[in-house]
Structure 1
Amino acid sequence: MQLKKTLFALIAGLAFAASAHAQLKVGVVSSATGPVSLIGIPQKNTVPLMPKEIAGQKVEYITFDDGSDPSNTVTVVKKLISEEKIDVLVGPSSSPNAMAILDFVAEAKLPTLAPVGTIAIVLPMDDKRRWVFKTTQNDGLVADKLFDHMKANGVKTIGFIGTGDTFGETWFKVASDAAKARGIEIIANERFKRPDTSVTGQALRILSAKPDAVLVAAPGGPAVLPQVTLTDMNYKGQFYQTHGAALNEFIKLGGKKIEGTILGGSVMLVPNDVPDSNPAKKVALDYINAYKAMHGNEPATFGGNMMDAGILLEKAVPEALKTAKPGTEAFRVALRDALENIKEVPGTQGIYNMTPQDHSGFDHRGVELVTVKDGTWALAK
């Protein structure tokens, strides 16, 4: 009997060794081309700055560009799971693409660090979303900052225009809740598609409603179009933007027409204006300087979302290695559990505290209220 047990243990050990990787395999999916490229490019460029070794375990990054197309995202994620046998996924770049892969990452029991905006990727928590962790501020956290500012500045009515996808629809819901809680009325509600080159009809309807302010909910470059269109129509109210517009290209594309915009962003937009007491300040500055040294320009905050994924892995992988080796389901489960127990970890965007109910982990320290002043970012007053 003892001999049988020994042989069984030996066979099991050999099978485990055959299935385990010699290194941690990280799949990365970003939208370096297509309508979301202003988000995807800094994320792709950040990968070389992510940890190459964690707790003595070499890290291999297997990267794909999904071209901003959710169907392509599904294809490459399936490939990463079935052929590359990845241990963890980082990506994709946008909310619709992330929502499209929920079923597949859950079925594969694949921990996923999603650098996307929508809260819908982690809430409501269920058997699918328990495998996904978010490295971007939740929409509701940003909305609270924006609507507090509106209320403090006498805004009674707003016009809303967002993308006709998960990002825009989720933002309309959180904006509606935030507005109602503060006695603000949404009197115009419009949508547009990310690739659209004109929103004249939508802008005219918002203009005719005469709101005190307008909130644009769109990620990356598309965030500029509604605001510039309304400005050209001589709209004089205050513009608000979500963290989807938190990139330098928003200022470059909008020019003087987006001066005075108020948005909820991260420490990365105004690191030198944030007190040294904020633990995220040093992390943000270190990342910005490393990115500039490698690429010759400053990264968008979306790149910081990718860097934070690497920071979270540095904390979680050592814990998972105590249970199993990469290349096994046991390791993936242990890594998921370790990510869910992250506590007080500073990233480029804020401080992470994960729980079984909250897979984003940010609190108020993850959002700074900023404005565009003289062609650059500044803390809003």
Structure 2
Amino acid sequence: MKIRGVIGTLSAVALAASLSAQAQVKIGVVVSATGTAAFVGIPQKNAVALLPMKIGNTTIEYITYDDASDPTQSVTLAKKLLTEYKIDALIGPSGSPNAMGMLQVMAEAQTPMLAPVGTAAVVLPMDEKKRWVYKTHPNDDVISDGLVAAMMKRGVKTIGFIGRSDPYGQNWAKTFEPMAQKAGMQIVANERYNRQDTSVTGQVLKLIAAKPDAVLVAGVAADAAMPHMQLVDSGYKGQIYHTHGSASGAFIQIGGKQVEGALVVGPLLLVPEQIPDSVPTKKVALEFVTGYERLYNAKPPIFAAGVYDAGLLFQHAIPEAVKKGKPGTQEFRTALRDALEGIKNLNVSQGVVNMSAQDHSGFDHRGRVLLTIKDGKWVLVKD
């Protein structure tokens, strides 16, 4: 189902009123505004209203579709945007499995895709298909490094891992275990769950039987709350850590008092008021948070930040690309891909981005912070 957002409408009006010679870039947006991943897709769709309608002398049109959380539909809509609308780039989709399915399509079309997803598998290991894709959230190794540091400081020696049985959870297991082992910690239990599951009792009992000092949950928003809650209900007294996938209001809303004290490595944009003014990305994070709150009377979850930061990347790259090609041509799309890959020291809401031929996420430790939950709110942990 097509969603004609505020930005798309205003962009069309702006174009009609502009000079006929003025360039226009068409950007497709595919989100999961309905279905099982709507908790991710709705804030992403909302963030489109914050994207730039004009970059330099170039107007931007955003053409937004809902894939209903269906990976097959994601591919169908990508093909539609490429063939019918002749888009110059795409933002989306919402889900990691959906994004993996779109790699081939975007590579064959030689059109950049900025994917606001969790799994690093969309950009790593780099190959000919993935060179057309950019990930607009930090890669798992950046967050994992912060988690390992937090665990070491708290004396953790043994860890139980439970993650989603999808590309997000699988990549987290693959990333975290060797980093933990290198730091002298041991994984004593390794469990999986499906995001649609209503119980993880069996997995929790196995985790507790292994007697780990801490448990790491690699889930996303509401579904990450379930293992945490059932660990608490089953009497587990160790520390419970979470990946940045849990860094959302939905996690707190579902988990309630049972997730109080959870330790999460996530983006500083969740607590911008608690961050020192000296942090380079604080200003951008505050602009994003206040802009989102002004429109929707709610704080933006991390999922929305991936779309917002895609707009900042385009804001930097499009002026460079138009010097080498006209929007709507392959020359422009190739130049846009190259300009995105050349971005250095760009402050975005989630950190500082330095792209390279081998790193199409570009984030480092400067955007991550250790958080906990106190009285139903995110609080910065000053390690």
2:229/2:255 contact within 8 Å kept: yes
Aligned length: 362
Q: Does 1:57 align with 2:63?
A: no
Does the 8 Å CA contact 1:159/1:214 hold for their aligned counterparts? Answer: yes
Corresponding residue number in structure 1 for 2:277: 276
Give TM-score, length-normalised by structure 1: 0.93
Equivalence map 1:46-195=2 (5 Å): 46-195=47-196
- Tell me, in whole angstroms, the C-alpha distance in 1 between the residues paired with 2:198 and 2:73: 23
Moved more, 142-151 or 22-31: 22-31
CA distance in 1, matches of 2:231, 2:195: 17
Amino acid at match of 1:144: D
Q: Report what 2:359 is aligned to.
A: 358
In structure 2, the residue matched to 1:308 is 309
Structure 2 residue identity aligned to 1:60? E
2:358 maps to amino acid: Q
Question: 1:84 deviation in Å?
Answer: 1.4
Assess if the C-alpha contact under 8 Å between 1:316 and 1:342 holds in 2.
yes
In 2, the alpha carbon distance for the partners of 1:316 and 1:199 equals 45
CA distance in 2, matches of 1:171, 1:258: 21
Q: CA deviation at 1:45?
A: 0.2
Q: Distance in 1 between matches of 2:230 and 2:79?
A: 40
- 1:176-215 maps to which residues of 2 (within 5 A)? 176-215=177-216
Root-mean-square deviation (Å): 1.2
Question: What is the aligned-residue identity percentage?
Answer: 54
Residues 125-155 of structure 1 deviation map (CA, whole Å, 9 limit, x = unaligned)? 1101111111101101100100111111111
Structure 1 runs of 4+ with >4 Å offset: none
Partner SS for 2:237: coil
Give 1:194 shift: 0.9
Matches of 1:33 and 1:220 in 2, distance apart?
A: 16
Deviations 1:319-367 (A, max 9, x none): 0000111111110000000000111111110011111111111111021
Give the distance between the partners of 1:251 and 1:127, measured in 2 at CA. Answer: 40
Partner of 1:296: 297
CA contact (8 A) 2:266 2:369 kept: yes
Q: Does 1:236 align with 2:237?
A: yes
**Structure 1 portions without partners, runs of 5+:** 1-19
Give the equivalent residue in structure 2 for 1:248: 249
2:363 and 2:278 mapped to 1: Cα distance? 17
Could you tell me which residue of structure 2 aligns to residue 11 of structure 1? none
Distance in 1 (alpha carbons) for counterparts of 2:254 and 2:22: 45
Contact 2:161–2:189 (CA<8 Å) still a contact in 1?
Answer: yes
Q: CA deviation at 1:220?
A: 2.3
Q: Following TM superposition, by how much is the alpha carbon of 1:35 offset from its aligned partner in structure 2, in angstroms? A: 2.2
Q: Check conservation: 1:203, 1:230, Cα contact below 8 A.
A: yes
Q: Is the 8 A contact 2:22 2:58 kept in 1?
A: no
Which sits farther off after the overlay, 77-86 or 307-316?
A: 77-86
The Cα of 1:67 is off from its aligned counterpart by 1.7
Shift of residue 22, structure 1, vs aligned partner: 5.2
2:323 aligned with 1:326? no
8 A contact 1:145–1:264 mirrored in 2: yes
Give the number of the structure whose alpha-carbon radius of gyration is greater. Answer: 1
Contact 1:21/1:327 (8 A) holds in 2: no
- Quote the Cα distance in structure 1 between the aligned partners of 2:65 and 2:160: 38
Deviation at residue 158 of structure 1 after TM alignment? 0.9
Deviation larger for 139-148 or 219-228: 219-228
Instruction: Tell me the distance in 2 between the aligned counterparts of 1:277 and 1:78.
Output: 44
Kindly state the Cα deviation for residue 21 of structure 1 after the two structures are TM-superposed. Answer: 9.7
* In 1: Cα distance, 2:257 partner to 2:289 partner: 25
